[in-house]
Amino acid sequence: MITRRFVFGAVAVLALTPLALAAQDKVEIVEPWARAALSGRNSAAYMTIVNHTGEKDELISAATPVARVVELHTHMMEGGVMRMRPVQAIEVNVGEPAVLRPGGLHVMLINLTRDLKAGETIPLTLRFRNAGERTIEVPVQAAGAMGPAGHGHGHGHGHGPRN
């Protein structure tokens, strides 16, 4: 019995090692999405950021050719009203994914250079303090969407502000 457990344990370790190595040094962007909006207006991009690097990191800026200004924002209560506020950085801790979603943290796309239409994707470059730059393709959802494709219902945050 002891021998069998030992063998099983050794095999499990060997099987997991390549995966563990592959996941190192990586910041994973899960289900990014943005909202459709017209040229000259504002939009926002949302996503979940998972830190597999083993050390604390933070998103420090973002850029996209479809917006003249890109800022990192959060929502804060001020006098009973939810307002957007720029933040210097969005922390991405190990084992604690950063969740960007309507009514909370988001990447604010200010003064769009063109219309963002549902169904297209837009490039977005994310700059992390440690992990460096990552450029991702962000699917555009309808103007009133509250989540990524296939997750539009059931999150229960339907009454938040639009960005």
Binding site for Cu ion (CB under 5 A): 73, 84, 108, 163
> In angstroms, what is the minimal distance from the CB of 107 to Cu ion?
8
> In angstroms, what is the minimal distance from the CB of 128 to Cu ion?
20
In this complex, which beta carbon is closest to Cu ion, that of residue 52 or of residue 147? Answer: 147
> In angstroms, what is the minimal distance from the CB of 64 to Cu ion?
14
In this complex, which beta carbon is closest to Cu ion, that of residue 106 or of residue 131? Answer: 106
SS (H, E, C) the chain: CHHHHHHHHHHHHHHHHHHHHHHCCCEEEEEEEEECECCCCCEEEEEEEEECCCCCEEEEEEECCCEEEEEEEEEEEECCEEEEEECCCEEEECCECEEECCCCCEEEEEEECCCECCCCEEEEEEEECCCEEEEEEEEEECCCCCCCCCCCCCCCCCCCCCC
In this complex, which beta carbon is closest to Cu ion, that of residue 61 or of residue 130? Answer: 61
